Amino acid sequence: MRIRSGLAAAIVLAVCFTVPTSVAATPSATTVVSIPRVGALFVPYLPGLTQALGLPHECSASVVHSASRNVVLTAAHCIVGTGVGYGFAPGYHDGVFPYGVWSVRRVYVNAAWKTSHDPKHDYAFLVVAPRTIGGVVKNIENVVGGYLLGSVPPAGSTVTVDGYVAGARDRPITCTTTTYRTDGYPSIDCDGFADGTSGGPWLRSGAVVGVIGGLHQGGCTPGTSYSAPFGLDAHTDLARAVAGGRGDLLGSPGSDGCS
């Protein structure tokens, strides 16, 4: 604010000294060792080589509960193509893959994202192949569990947001904070959510109610993040993934609109 006169300055100073104000500090994400249902997306995933060479991951994702028990949720702008060639590593930390890497078979998105990259539908459901563990073929949800799919949280809700900053041999970050709205998009303020955290889940009462994405493909700065507003469409799209059948072919998401 510009002070235009000495009198105005005196008034402002008097108010500052007589009426204390409290400005809530923006929280910062903290590092945790591992979150079993949350993981990193690797592309291209090269079985064996990705693990041995410590290749970097690019986006974040989480296991979502489904009848087929093989569905992972991320941001649609994280995926190009059919999803084949991507690998999801739940619980990844320090270059360790405690639950292995699960290969993506197909991707399912809302038609509004597929045709026009509508940021209000910036989410994608990935169907991952089963793995043989201890001689038994298992789906991913049977190994790490899955979050229920919820709906957009009201402004003022408390959510916990998880994800991985792009890199390798690292650990996930987490932050519990309060939501608000920006042009209809769920929004949070928490420092630390840089590139790579796109697709990271927003959790409320045991359900995933958003993922980092949506407006500006998740945000233009590490301190403010957005999500697409989950509604009936998201649940319908999950049902399509569970039913199986032909997946989607996705082009480049284009610019995030950040200047």
pLDDT reported for residue 4: 34
> On the CB side of 150, how many CA atoms lie within 13 Å of its CA?
17
Given this model, what pLDDT does residue 259 score? 81
**Residue 167 located in a structural domain:** yes
Identify whether 85 is part of a domain.
yes
Q: Are 101 and 201 in contact (CB under 8 A)?
A: no
Binned at pLDDT 50, 70 and 90, residue 21 comes out as very low
Is residue 16 included in any domain, yes or no? no
* pLDDT, mean over the chain: 92
Is 13 a domain residue?
Answer: no
b/e per residue, 148-159, with b = 16+ CB within 10 A?
ebbebbeeebeb
Cα–Cα separations (whole angstroms), residue 54 to 5, 42, 169:
61, 11, 7
Establish if 237 belongs to a structural domain.
yes
Asked which of 18-32, 83-97, 116-130, 211-225 is least confident by mean pLDDT, the reply is 18-32
Q: Residue 91 belongs to what domain range?
A: 30-243
Residue 152 counted as domain residue: yes
pLDDT of residue 16: 38
Percent with pLDDT over 70 in the chain: 91
| One-letter identity of residue 96 | V
Across the range 8-29, mean pLDDT stands at: 51
pLDDT (tens digit, 9 = 90+) per residue, 86-114?
999 999 999 999 999 999 999 999 999 99
199: left (phi over 0), alpha (psi -120 to 50) or beta: left
Q: Among candidates 182, 81, 89, 185, which has minimal Cα distance to 128?
A: 89
Percent over 90 (pLDDT), the chain: 90
What's the pLDDT score for residue 257? 95
Domain count of the fold of the chain? 1
Contacts for 163 with CB less than 8 Å, ≥ 6 apart: 38, 60, 172, 173, 193, 196, 197, 198, 199, 200, 201, 212
CATH number of the CATH domain containing 108: 2.40.10.10
The whole model's pTM is what?
0.91
Is residue 21 in some structural domain?
A: no
Residue 251 placed within a domain: no
Compute the distance between CA of residue 72 and CA of residue 62 in angstroms, rounded to an integer.
6
pLDDT of residue 24: 66
